């Protein structure tokens, strides 16, 4: 009887240790991703995400919109990495337009567990906006870009209304025009050191009516990085004209990246 009791006690102890180890392993595999860092592109600022932020916050995410200086790729990557550093856990990094170049470099940060591209450029190692755009015809927006004496580029009101944000309301178009951030021309030739999408899971919102980046380029990028992609009947500013769909894609990225 005494031996039997000792056997049962040992069995219970071993079973308890096994269950504890199993639960610990499961908890490690199921990392909750609650931090979303949004990176705007050229001719923009953080307000471009104003419709997406509340949708994500309503789902319990902690959201930060980076304010890039748009003075150089290095400066914008540094600004984005400062925002990542302030987060208290894993991060989903989201980039629109030129912001896709920024997250491709900044996304190598170990806190970043997933990348979401929204109508964006996504160069590979040693590539730039200029190099990946060469095989495609010039987009209509290019004719509405104006340089200043310091080498910064801005969009004309016509460019915003017809080729950048053509599916927004007139009031929204005026706001985008007024809040645009001039972009240093040098960013078009700035190259990526190591493309984060080569080692991290990616998602892509392709804008089928984009007149700033060729939709065919967006599609090719998504295929190259094996991204989970959606196609929206949108202008270049998909996060303003289709915020619900963009927010849902970001939420999907956070949920999927947290189970890897």
Active site residues: 97
Query: At CA 186, angle to CA 44 and CA 162, rounded to 5?
Result: 40
70: left (phi over 0), alpha (psi -120 to 50) or beta: left
Structure tokens at 99: 């912001």
* Other beta carbons within 10 Å of 86: 10
Specify the 3-state DSSP secondary structure of 44.
coil
Strand partners of residue 229:
204
Residue showing tokens 């990495």: 81
> What is the C-alpha separation between 148 and 152, in angstroms, rounded?
6
Q: What Rg do the C-alpha atoms of the chain give, in angstroms?
A: 22
Can you tell me the distance from the alpha carbon of 91 to that of 109, in angstroms, rounded to the nearest whole number?
A: 9
């Amino acid at each position: 009887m005494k031996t039997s009791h000792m056997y049962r006690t040992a069995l219970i102890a071993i079973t308890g240790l096994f269950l504890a180890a199993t639960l610990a392993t499961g908890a490690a595999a199921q990392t909750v991703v609650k931090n979303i860092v949004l990176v705007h592109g050229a001719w923009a600022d953080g307000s471009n995400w104003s419709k997406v932020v509340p949708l994500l916050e309503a789902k319990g995410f902690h959201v930060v919109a980076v304010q890039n200086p748009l003075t150089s790729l290095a400066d914008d990557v540094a600004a984005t990495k400062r925002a990542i550093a302030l987060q208290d856990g894993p991060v989903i990094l989201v980039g629109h337009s030129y912001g896709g170049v920024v997250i491709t470099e900044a996304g190598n940060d170990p806190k970043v567990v997933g990348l979401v591209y929204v109508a964006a450029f996504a160069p590979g190692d040693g590539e730039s906006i200029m190099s990946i755009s060469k095989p495609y015809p010039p987009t209509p927006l290019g004719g509405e870009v104006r340089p200043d004496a310091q080498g910064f580029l801005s969009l004309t009101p016509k460019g915003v209304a017809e080729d950048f944000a053509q599916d927004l309301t007139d009031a929204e178009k005026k706001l985008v025009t007024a809040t645009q951030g001039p972009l240093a021309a040098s960013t078009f030739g700035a190259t990526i050191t190591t493309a984060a999408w080569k080692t991290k899971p990616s998602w892509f919102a392709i804008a089928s009516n984009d007149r700033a980046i060729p939709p065919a380029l967006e599609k090719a990028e998504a295929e190259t990085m094996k991204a989970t992609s959606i196609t929206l009947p949108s202008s270049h500013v998909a996060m303003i004209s289709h915020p619900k769909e963009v927010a849902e894609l970001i939420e999907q990225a956070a949920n999927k990246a947290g189970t890897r």
